[in-house]
Chain A
Amino acid sequence: MEAAHGGSSGPVRFERMKIGGADALLAPRPGTGLLALAAIIRRGSADEREGEHGLASFTASMLLRGTQRRSSEQIAFDLESLGAIAGEGDGMDTCSLNVRCSAEAAPRALEILFESLREPAFDAREHEVHRQELLAHLRMIEDEKFSYTYREYVKAMFTGHGYGHASEGELADAERITPADCRRWHAEMIRPETLLIAAVGDFEVGALRDLLAGLLADWPVNDGPVRPRIATQPPADHPRELELRKPELNQGFIVGGFRTPPITDPDYAALRLGSAALGEGFAGRIFTELREKRSLAYALGATLRSYRLTGHQVLYIGTKPESIEEARAGLLREADYLKHNLLSDEELNRAREYVLGKFVMGQQSHAQRVSHLAWWEDAAGDAAEGWRYPERLRGVTAAQVREAARKWWVEPTMAVLRPEAG
């Protein structure tokens, strides 16, 4: 082993506390001069009811579009004049407002961020501007093969469940949502009780806690109950085959996958290594067998996607139209290989070190560390689970990978995009 110089590869140390009714994880990083913070609303598109699709995402996107005191332009101008980069996020399980800025600018940037979170105006004109932006975004998804095919695949994979709707909704959802819908969602879902604040940066914990307590004080929420999160697992696996067509394509695209359990499941660590062995990096089986040996594709691989209640093992490949069947069979053959064969010591070690390396690399920036804390806290119920994750990975055997693959990679759901005939 070569000597490292002393940078941290250990867990992100944080302090957990309640601030103004919200959960908070504060991780000081003295001397960096920077801060990243996310205000995570623990309600997402999976929590939408019938007739509400797209509402969590639409509402989150409206938060930085004006408050009672500042216009949308003023918010953007004030934040950017501090050198702060702010944005909103949407997802199946959560939505968020987040900011990165210098430590010096943090008090003023956070004041604007929390004003936006607490007091959005949901102005009718701004609503229309965002609607047009969203409609364009949805049209543009059609132009990118992976995004389009993946989106349709996910809907098929989780049909009949909250995870079976794209978080940003469909064109008809974007046309339907009104400012009143957003106001109602905000009142019901965006409250201190649903909030998780994760912050990493150059701050003193007590000072940031006091600052946040002031920003969260006297939140004007309604007195009604907070709507609970979705709690049921998606229905049992029911594989589907989707045939998608687009005109004038030079290349087809395949996205397929298998249902997998959430990260709290005992099989998760084995499946994580299975995914890496199958198709992550340039030495995974899919890359080696389908690209390096058979030259079938440039873009291909595997990834394990996880939500709070479930997950799925994704396989993908883009290839010329005449190779689509060969590529589809190749993806499934490689998955099958892992179900029927033990990984060699070399393959298992490569997969393990690859995942551990990505884990460390994924915690370099302040924003990456914030995401890490928030993800483990929400998905595993405790951010400290992230500390134990490397140990879980180190304990996985080749037999466990095979057994987990056999158990979970049962029948695939596949979406295949082809050029329109003629």
Chain B
Amino acid sequence: MIRQHHTTHRHTLGCGMPLLLLENHEAAVATADIWVRTGAADEPEDLSGISHFLEHMLFKGTEKWGLGEIERAIESVGGVSNAGTSYDFTHYYVTLPAARIRTGIEMLAEMVRHSTLDAAELEKERLVILEEYRRKQDNPIGVLYELLYGELFEAGPYHLPVIGSEETIRAIDRPAMLDYYHRRYGPEGAVLVVAGDIEPERAIEWAEAAFAGFDRRREELTRRHPVRYGRGKRVHERKPTGGEVYVAYAFPAPGMQATEEVLPLDMAQFILGSGRAARLHQELKEKRGLCSSISSYYPTHAHDSLFVFVATCQPGQREGLREALLEELRRFAAEPPTPPAMKRARRLLASSHLFSMETSSGAASNIGYYYTLSGSTEFFDSYLEKLEALTAEQVSAATARVIHPERLEESLVEISVGPNGELKGEG
């Protein structure tokens, strides 16, 4: 058995915000990572992309720090900073030589509490985001995922892309952004993670000081609509590529709120499509030559999610690949995974989990992600222990509930991007 070496410690700051701490003294590096439970899933449709836009703006100056001073201050003490926006969260992180982590905590506090969202800077940053948007439109994988989410989630919080549309990026204005910032960024909906070569008592002291008086009341926004899943679709987007077609096959799947389903589906994902010995990689790519790559992913969103297979192939291989994939999935749902298949996936999943904790930024990211989505550290801290206890029957049953083998084709949404080609039953 591969054992977990870490335990997360939880402290609640005076302002009410949780602080999660993880010590690792292997290297003199530490990361501070603040997670705000707001993202594209919380946006009104006419403000699609505002969470991501705001993420950019938080680096554009605060009441205390002018434009560029945050980045300069962090990099001048040997640190790096960045941020990420998704559907259910936005997070900001700073990795520094451990002796400087206090600077990182203070900077993050400034950004989430006192950003000025300067009007002139907002106009300049709009042009940068439009460049980011163009970049995504030129990338077949970017286009594939945008279409996938748009078609699988026909309505509801995951329908629109995180970056927004060109129209909404052009339309978002400062009053809307200030309103969103003040309504969404408060201690209730956030968590600060500090990981690495830290002394917990000092980190608590610095975080308490940095967030003292942070009392902004967070308002819950009305989610646009409940999720309505699309089913039984095949959509092809013509786009010139070097010759490959990029294909995604997706099924509706439970989100992190259905905690008991997550681990079996993580295992199913590893058995089917993660690693060189994964079943689909071996059967469809290596043995039958039906594609040049195939992997599976289970991105756990907070409420509703998807289980997805992503492949690349030649235009003429698409029909055969689809048929073979469906055949493999029917077999998988009919027979629980064998003990060797379970052992392989269990070990590989456990190793991947441990390797992802080796760096302070990896550890902070894992802890923050799972806490933000599940509301506790329990899921992550007990992950390896629960993994050991998981049975093949649990994996098989959870997978069957997602792919519905008796009506597989009606459950599936298939998206492809690449050179033109006829699709049978395109709908």
Contacts and interface: CB of A to CB of B under 8 A. Distances in A.
Nearest to B25: A7
Interface string B267-306: 0000000011100001001100100110000000000000
Contacts of B75: 281-283, 350, 353-354, 357
A303 interface: no
B168 interface: no
A7 B27 contact: yes
Given A5-B198, A132-B289, A365-B359, A251 B240 contact: no
A125 to B, nearest CB: 10
Contact of A283 (B71, B101, B358): B71
Greatest chain B CB density within 10 A among A143, A291, A318, A319 is at: A143
Interface string A337-364: 0000000001001100110111011011
A140 B242 contact: yes
B251 to A, nearest CB: 25
Contacts of A135: 292
Nearest to A293: B124
Given A145-B138, A319-B131, A136 B71 contact: no
Determine the main DSSP class of A at the interface with B: mixed
Interface in B1-43: 2-3, 5, 23-29
A34 B99 CA distance: 26
A129 B72 contact: no
A3 B202 contact: yes
A358 B27 CA distance: 12
Contact of B76 (A137, A295, A350): A350
Interface stretch (A75-83, A161-169, A205-213): A75-83
B204 to A, nearest CB: 13
Nearest to B198: A5
Interface string A62-78: 00100000001100110
A329 interface: no
Contact of B95 (A6, A82, A361): A361
A299 interface: yes
A130 to B, nearest CB: 10
Contacts of B76: 283, 346, 349-350, 353-354
Contacts of B125: 295
Interface stretch (B84-92, B109-117, B177-185, B342-350): B342-350
B196 to A, nearest CB: 7
Contact of A83 (B26, B71, B340, B350): B350
A320 B289 contact: no
B351 A76 contact: no
B292 A136 contact: yes
Nearest to B166: A250
Contact of B348 (A80, A138, A142): A80
Contact of B26 (A29, A133, A139, A358): A29
Contacts of A364: 26-27, 29, 358-360
A291 B131 CA distance: 10
Nearest to A355: B78
B170 to A, nearest CB: 14
Contacts of B67: 292
A271 to B, nearest CB: 19
A254 to B, nearest CB: 13
B336 interface: no
A306 to B, nearest CB: 20
A251 B286 contact: no
B358 A5 contact: no
Interface in A276-309: 281-283, 288, 291-293, 295-299
A319 B134 CA distance: 9
Contacts of A50: none
A33 interface: yes
B351 A4 contact: no
Contacts of A354: 75-76, 78, 80
Contacts of B243: 139, 142
Contacts of A353: 75-78
Nearest to A6: B25
A32 B99 contact: no
Interface in B332-365: 340, 343-344, 347-348, 350-352, 354-355, 358-360
B98 interface: yes
B424 interface: no
A367 B359 CA distance: 11
Given A33-B5, A141-B242, A281-B71, A365 B355 contact: yes
Contacts of A102: 2, 351, 354
Nearest to B137: A250
B83 to A, nearest CB: 11
Nearest to B340: A81
A135 B291 CA distance: 12
B289 A129 contact: yes
Contact of B135 (A133, A247, A281, A318): A318
Nearest to B103: A2
Nearest to A319: B131
Closest 5 interchain pairs by CB? A357-B78, A142-B242, A136-B292, A7-B197, A83-B347
